[in-house]
Amino acid sequence: MRIKKKKIYVILIVFVVICIISGYFFWSSAQSKDLLADSVYEQLDLRTGEEIENQAKEETGIVLNDSNFINDFQMDYEKKVQIEVTKYNEEQANLSITVPDMYSILKHSEDEQKILQIINSENCPLITNKIKINYEKKDGKYQVKENEELIYAIFGGMDKYFEEKGL
Amino acid sequence: MKKIICYFLTVSLLFQCCTLSVHAIESEKKRIEIYDYYESDNKTVILYFQDNTPYIEPNELALLTDYVYALQDGKIVFEKKSGLQTTKRVSLKDGKIQYGSYKDTIRTIDVDGVTYIELIPTIDYLDSRLKMSPDGRLILFSAEKTFSQLVNQVNYDLVHGGNIENNANNLESGAAWLWLLLNGKLLSSMPGERSRRLAFSLLTEEDKDNFILESNRAIVDYASTVSNDVSFISSVGEMMNLEIFDKSLKVFGDNMNMVTNSANLDYEMLSRMANIQLQIEQLYTENIKNVEKTLLNPDMHILSKTDSLYKDLKKITNGYNKNSERMYQDAMMGLYKDEGISFIKNTGGDIIASTLIKIVPALDVGLSLLKVYGNISGVTDGAVSVIEQKDYTALQSKIAVELQKYHNQIKKGGTLSEEKIRDYVELVRMYYHVKTAYYHMYNDYAPDPLFENNYLQYLNIEKEIDKYGHDVFTLDIPNANSTDINTLIFPKIEEIQLTQEFEMEDFSCSIYLPQNSILSDYKKNDGSTLSYIWNYKVPYIDKLENRTIQIIIIESFQPYDGIQRNMDEYKDLNKNSSNGGEEQYLGDQTRFIRIWYPYELFENGETTIATIDFQNIETKELINYYLYISVDDSPENIDSNDLLFIKNLAFKIAESCTML
């Protein structure tokens, strides 16, 4: 009876240890994936948009007829960007990047306000691209090697639209 | 006791009255001469002094500083214009002047119903400063191009015409900005092998006029730095008939004597040597400084230290001595080494000229090595140059997006700090410089008048920024290097006594110039031609659209005795007969010069109003001038601004005159 109990304890301990180890690896892997994804966000300046208050027009100062479009776009667009690391090894990672479908949006309109309006709407068209990236890990930090494929994936088909425009 | 108190009070009151009257005496209206530093011209202004404080009429200050002045809802508003567009606004109300976050208290006084405002610090708010020159002259520094004008120009160019890729200039602004954003991101993915060429392209400048001369000089310099071995010079003698390339041949001969052995010499190596040599020679200090302050400045967020372009730029700029404007020898050797060319003393004997001719047959017909290999950009085919366009576009786009951040800041706060203005101007220079470098590269590959014109056009914009410098643009900040009234002396000049009264009739103005006077700054060529050009900045330009300004200068041979005598004749002259000046005779007594200018000539708010050629007129004969100025329009369309304009113009011309 005692031997049986001992066996049960041993099996239980082994099970717990396995759970802890696999849990650690799972957590560590998830954390690495997050860190890698964060590096992509950071390197491509995808979290830089800041709220600019639309102040009442100053009566004095430099008169500049200009919008905050780039800043507004970056802020709204970044909220919609989803980068997921699906697979990785020591040098390479597979990314799944979901972003607004800029090709369709630009086809619809090139106007600043309309672009922002569509991106902010619930029906904003999205597109998912799966790409491979190379990276290095130095001092615990990931350095992603940027290439055109990655940038085009992040900007959801803008390149295709401009190519059609002869650019 | 009462008597004593009364006596004391009486004396005190009298003393007070006397003091007041002394103060009253200290009030004085003076005509002051100021030297305009940027226009290289003397200007006269009328100032009102009260207790040694100078005051000025707002419209006079506006004219002096090239601002437009208006009264709006009880406020004095000064506006800076660029063409018809307002670029900066400064207001003055209830004794407070304001420009963005800058404010000051300003005193105003009324004299005979005319409002005068304190000259200092008001003038500092209008992109201008007053300083004394070492020789005691009062100098006006009034920015020819202001920071607000530069910002508006750049803001327009970013999406309307400044882009390298012309098609991008035709996109709607939303798409245009996204195109810039996308291309800017591509900068970090530029392959290393292309960045070196882009780096040199950004750092060099070709002085077209001195190119050949400079290259020859460079070659001689280079020969002295690389080698003291002159053995090759003797073999150059074999080819003295090939005079075009004698110097270049000498240098390459010197260098080649140092290459491992002559068997290593080939067309490819010679080409690379010639390219490096030319690139080093054409490094331009202004471009190097500009790169250091922008692309190599981490605060600008354009390049990161891991970018290949950053590394290449850093390597070249670190090896450049700004004082001698030459590369350090070690750095230069490093560049050769990077290209696989090593200099080791050749022990196998001299390279003789015939060796070179064998490698490069073109030398035999008299072409110089530089002619054969001289290709500053190193671009060798069309496909490569198209790919390289992407690199220039990516860099310019990244800069455009960063410039836009400054514009957002301007919109938020209205003004930038002195340091930020300096950074902004550097970034603007780099924005235009990328386009200059691009056309330079492209024109080297495929010489074309269109590319060359574009290259020269953008080179001029850069040179303009270099000419103005940061100090002019920081005049935007009122308290930067501000005018110190305690250091100023206001030299009074003798009042010009206009012999006749100033009259305003309908919407025209007529004025007699001083008797026996002559235009002060006339130019005399060969003792026979006298001419004078009035450069006058025109305020209220928007009011003058579609109107005609007529200026008539009448010169009589005898004292003028009545304003109305010939006026109708002058007015009835056919206006379409001349567009630039005309001399006619009216009887034996009088002749006149009439200048008629349509509105179009006043574009950008500044033009030469009149060029008056006194050819064939003997100076001694000039006795009287009569000046008549009018604006063609129906009287109901004329407002006080128009009248003010005409009056100012008339006075401006009158001020140009001095007594003989």
Task: Tokens for B416, please give them.
Answer: 């930038």
Record: contact B182-A148, CB cut-off 8 A: no
**Tokens 């295709």 belong to residue:** A160
> What is the number of domains present in chain A?
1
Q: Which residues of A touch B167 (CB under 8 A)?
A: 165-167
Q: Which of B231-235, B260-264, B305-309, B589-593 has the lowest mean pLDDT?
A: B231-235
Produce one character per residue of A76-94: b if its CB has 16 or more CB atoms within 10 Å, e if not.
bbbeebebebeebeeeebe
Query: Quick check: is A56 in a domain?
Result: no
Q: Which residues of B touch A114 (CB under 8 A)?
A: 174
Q: Which amino acid is residue B484, in one-letter code? A: D
Q: What per-residue confidence (pLDDT) applies to B534?
A: 34
Please check whether residue A55 touches B, CB under 8 A.
Answer: yes
Please check whether residue A69 touches B, CB under 8 A.
Answer: yes
Interface test with chain A among B177, B411, B424, B476, by most A beta carbons within 10 Å: B411
Q: Which residues of A touch B178 (CB under 8 A)?
A: 73, 102, 106, 115, 155, 158
Q: Which residues of A touch B414 (CB under 8 A)?
A: 58, 60-62
Q: Which residues contact B96 (CB under 8 A, 6 or more apart)?
A: B103, B104, B105, B106
Of the partner residues A59, A66, A115, the one whose CB lies closest to the CB of residue B89: A59
Q: What per-residue confidence (pLDDT) applies to B642?
A: 54
Angle CA B128–B129–B135, to nearest 5:
135
Q: Which of B27-31, B382-386, B543-547 has the lowest mean pLDDT?
A: B543-547
Please check whether residue A44 touches B, CB under 8 A.
Answer: yes
Interface test with chain B among A62, A66, A141, A162, by most B beta carbons within 10 Å: A62
CA distance B209 to A49: 48
Q: What per-residue confidence (pLDDT) applies to B15?
A: 38
Query: Quick check: is A57 in a domain?
Result: no
Q: Distance, in angstroms, between A53 CA and closest chain B CA?
A: 8
Q: What per-residue confidence (pLDDT) applies to B390?
A: 84
Query: Quick check: is A28 in a domain?
Result: yes
The domain spans of chain B are 26-142, 144-194+285-303+380-495, 205-283+325-373, 503-659
Record: contact B174-A68, CB cut-off 8 A: no
Q: Distance, in angstroms, between B629 CA and closest chain A CA?
A: 34
Q: What per-residue confidence (pLDDT) applies to A21?
A: 72
Q: Distance, in angstroms, between A6 CA and closest chain B CA?
A: 59
Closest CA to B477 of B132, B56, B128, B141: B128
Chain A residue closest in CA terms to B91: A60
- Strongest mean pLDDT among A132-141, B297-306, B546-555, B569-578: B297-306
ipTM: 0.81
Who has greater pLDDT, A53 or B660?
Answer: A53
Query: Quick check: is A44 in a domain?
Result: yes
Query: Quick check: is A37 in a domain?
Result: yes
In A78-117, the residues whose Cβ lies within 8 Å of chain B are 102, 106, 109-115
Phi, psi of A133 (to 5 degrees): -125, 155
Q: Which residues of B touch A52 (CB under 8 A)?
A: 408, 411-412
Domain that holds residue A156: 2-49+64-164
Record: contact A112-B173, CB cut-off 8 A: yes
Res. B204 pLDDT band, cuts 50 70 90: confident
Q: Which residues of A touch B410 (CB under 8 A)?
A: 61-62, 64
Residue B385 Cα to chain centre, angstroms: 32
Q: What per-residue confidence (pLDDT) applies to B357?
A: 53
In degrees to the nearest 10, what's the CA dihedral of B512, B516, B521, B522? 100
Who has greater pLDDT, B543 or B560?
Answer: B543
Please check whether residue A26 touches B, CB under 8 A.
Answer: no
CA distance A149 to B195: 19
**Tokens 């035709």 belong to residue:** B170
